[in-house]
A = this chain, B = another copy of it.
Amino acid sequence: MKKEHPKLIGMERTRVKRSPNRGHYDDETIRAILKNNYLCHVAFNHQNAPVNIPTLYGLLGDYIYFHGATTSRLITNLESGIDVCVAITQVDGLVLARSAFHHSMNYQSVVVFGKAKPVSGDLKLEALKAISDQIIPGRWKEVRAPNAKEMKATTVLQLPLTEASAKIRTGPPSDDKADYDLPIWAGVVNTPKVYGEVETDPGSKVELPISKSVQSLVK
């Protein structure tokens, strides 16, 4: 995978410090991770101390988008243009070494620094669709679209991917040379992303087949 950091010269905070060989800075790698997830954690300062809020995001063009109630702490802080740091973390497996010290995880993570700003009009609706598509492709067109009141109650923020980095670990454990002689099993337990039971809303008035988007997701 490409490891260049061409667009980020001088952006020291984006460089992966620990295990720098796991750092990636190319768009392709960063986008692949962003496409494969939907949950992010957003760090920002509120009353001079950090706050960390889990929320959903969508990837669209050169930005990630997230949304929230217009009055929420997340939105009112971020739309004022303060610094934000968004982390997306996908755990792929538990890495079980022969020594306690060399236990690790296989993971793919992205960290984005920057300032978010609100969007409006067509882009706001497109961004909401992108957040929906990120979680379950095709769902957006099956459901009732947002009305004017709902759009007004929702703020959508965009964060550019100009200061983004990825960090990836794959493969088996890496033990100290002498430890390979120990009679201790070592390897990786994979933690795949799976979908489980589909439960129809018991409040449904009529029986309907499960939506195509859901069938595609869980198939």
Task: Chain B residues near A42: list those with CB within 8 A.
Answer: 52
A144 to chain B: which residues have CB within 8 Å?
Answer: 98-101, 179, 182, 184
Tell me if A103 is interfacial: C-beta within 8 Å of chain B.
yes
Cβ–Cβ contact B183 & A111, under 8 A: no
Instruction: Give the distance to chain B from A125, nearest Cβ to Cβ, in Å.
Output: 10
Contact of A45 among B50, B107, B113, B180 (CB under 8 A): B50
Per DSSP, chain A at the interface is: mixed
Assuming the contacts A18-B72, A190-B199, A198-B190, asked whether A143 and B173 have C-beta atoms less than 8 A apart, the reply is no
In contact, B195 and A194 (Cβ under 8 angstroms)? no
Q: How near does chain B come to A10, taking the closest CB pair, in angstroms?
A: 14
The quantity of this chain's copies bound in the complex is 2
Output the least CB separation between A71 and chain B (Å): 9
Q: With the chains together, A173 CA to B184 CA distance in Å?
A: 48
Residues on B with C-beta less than 8 A from A188 are 198-199, 201
Chain A residues engaging chain B, CB cutoff 8 angstroms:
13, 17-18, 39, 41-54, 56, 68-69, 72-73, 83-87, 89, 91, 93-94, 96-101, 103, 105, 107, 109, 111, 113, 128, 132, 135-136, 139-140, 142-147, 150, 154, 172-173, 179-206, 208-211, 214, 217-218
- Asked if A208 and B184 sit within 8 Å, CB to CB, the answer is yes
B191 touches A217 (CB 8 A): no
What is the bound-complex CA distance between A198 and B94, given in angstroms?
A: 9
Whether the Cβ atoms of B189 and A195 lie closer than 8 Å is: yes
| Complexed CA–CA distance, A69 and B84 (Å) | 25
Q: Which of B13, B54, B100, B145 contacts A89 (CB 8 A)?
A: B54
